[in-house]
Amino acid sequence: MPSTYEKIATTTLGSAQADVTFSTISGIYTDLVLTANVQLVSSGQSMLYQFNGDTASNYSLTIMKGNGTSATSDRRSNINYQLVAGWDAGLPTSSSFATAIVNIPNYSNTTINKTSVARGSNAAGGDVTATINLWRNTSAITSIKIYSGIGNLNTGSTFTLYGIKAE
């Protein structure tokens, strides 16, 4: 990572679990970057996230997805999650990990709603996704919960949160 990136925390799962939460995030950075190397327990799962424990329908998203053969897009409003990526049935498998990165600009600005850009791919040849997420809230982001829509995140999945320092 560039020298302006400062690692805030890393979590590697020693056993399957429902979610990972980064909490008490300081407001000293300009942006946040979340990286993930994820193995899901069941096929057809998605990797989702929420800010500050907000489980209400305060989120919207637009997703673009392709696999080299076809491409699709979708828009969802008034939902209770943000989407990193959704992988087709069978992917990722017990032997493959999917990678994802989420950019969260202006996360501590208390005068704007929060946006994030999430990109995900599966090394086994599955979908590549790009998602623009909106959280309709002006609060500074102090925690991020990452979870799967169904089932658990598998053993060995790694999540790292970085803060970008102003130069």
Provide the CATH number for the domain around residue 112. 2.60.120
Number of compact structural domains in the chain:
1
What are the CA-CA distances from residue 156 to residues 41, 45, 77, 126 (Å)? 11, 17, 33, 20
Q: What is the pLDDT of residue 45?
A: 73
In this prediction, residues 121-140 reach a mean pLDDT of: 85
Q: How confident is the model at residue 2 (pLDDT cuts 50, 70, 90)?
A: low
Residue whose token pair is 């600005």? 109
| Residue 40 domain boundaries | 5-164
In this prediction, residues 26-43 reach a mean pLDDT of: 87
